[in-house]
Amino acid sequence: MRKGLLTFAAVGLLATGSMAACGDNGGSSDQAGGSTDKKPKIGVILPDSKSSARWEGADRKFLKEAFDAAGVESDIQNAQNDKTAFQTIADQMITNGVNVLMIVNLDSGTGKAVLDKAKSQGVATIDYDRLTLGGSAQYYVSFDNEAVGKLQGEGLSKCLTDKAVKNPSIAYLNGSPTDNNATLFKNGYDSVLKPKFDSKEYTKVADDSVPAWDNAQAATIFEQQLTKAGGKIDGVLAANDGLGNAAISVLKKNKLNGKVPVTGQDATKEGLQNILAGDQCMTVYKAVKKEADAAAELAIALAKGEKKETGQTVKDPEGNRDVPAVLLEPKAIYKDNVKDVVADNYVTKEELCTGAFAKLCTDAGVS
């Protein structure tokens, strides 16, 4: 049997703890889990379908498969980056009887309001992928997001070294300023690149966040960065593959693609194809199936009134609490190990190796 890429296997390591909701009324509940006499029903709110292909292409599929395999009813919806729709979907799910609500927040304010309302209605909650600052979720399931950023910083540095670029001028395309993950990613890549800026080995010429991870805005922002830098940008720290592709589209117009290393994240089909073509330096692969399976296991337990121990916590600085967490390990992907993502069944060879990419896949050992 082929082993997974990640060494941290969250699913199966979660230990069952005390049963929740002890009382005379079988329908009572506490913060450990949902109502014990209701048939398990789990609601999931995804954030959008534009910032990254992962939400609809991977997370929805893997979460549904996990719930279906356990025989648990689920309702998975997408807020399409609309805060009002996010709250409306949550209200509908609570009204329709979910006893666990899992959310990927659009921002911490909206997320907190939804989590607090669910809690007041006896509905258990999980933060999925993004931590809601000041929120009340019982669990947080994600990847080590500072480690993701560190891999990006190391990746950009590696690619600049490989190209023998001296005193490179670096532009940042950060994620959404309302997404705590974007802050963590930046903490990670700053830990690698800031010392190089401080020593004058590298020069930072631009540092902008992209509202709502919007790829169209990212292209506009990067075009402005390139113009302001007089066309001299030697490396782009893009926080995900969508932002990276936006920068690449501008570099192509200026005949600079392939000459300027660009980072990414999520190992999307588009991002991997950009890597194969030489237009993108690297991406960060996050095995979403492991994340979805870990979150589903916790959600199913909560729906049955059980509490599981994760053995990890993360600090919520706004809520001043330690949130039980499952944090998975990310992996850096370059041209020479794109094949690992295909081997892990995250992207199929048929999806990736189309048209002109067929030969590039063969050259990169994708089988």
DSSP string over 41-109: EEEEEE--SSS-THIIIIIHHHHHHHHHHTT-EEEEEE-TT-HHHHHHHHHHHHHTT-SEEEE--SSHH
The sign one gets for the Cα dihedral 224, 229, 233, 235 is negative
**Residue-by-residue pLDDT tens, the chain, 367 positions:** 333 333 333 444 454 443 333 333 333 344 445 445 678 999 999 999 999 999 999 999 999 999 999 999 999 999 999 999 999 999 999 999 999 999 999 999 999 999 999 999 999 999 999 999 999 999 999 999 999 999 999 999 999 999 999 999 999 999 999 999 999 999 999 999 999 999 999 999 999 999 999 999 999 999 999 999 999 999 999 999 999 999 999 999 999 999 999 999 999 999 999 999 999 999 999 999 999 999 999 999 999 999 999 999 999 999 999 999 999 999 999 999 999 999 999 999 999 999 999 999 999 999 8
Report pLDDT for 14. 56
What is 145-286+332-364's CATH superfamily? Response regulator (3.40.50.2300)
Domain boundaries, the chain: 41-143+287-329, 145-286+332-364
Report pLDDT for 119. 97
The model's pTM: 0.87
Fold of domain 41-143+287-329: Rossmann fold (3.40.50)
Output Rg (C-alpha) for the chain, integer angstroms.
Answer: 21
Report pLDDT for 211. 97
Report pLDDT for 37. 61
Report pLDDT for 38. 73
Report pLDDT for 26. 35
d(C-alpha 239, C-alpha 252), whole Å: 19
DSSP string over 320-353: TEEEEEEEEPPEEE-GGGHHHHHHTTSS-HHHHS
189: buried, middle or exposed (CB in 10 Å: 19+, 13-18, 0-12)?
A: buried
Report pLDDT for 24. 33
84: buried, middle or exposed (CB in 10 Å: 19+, 13-18, 0-12)?
A: exposed
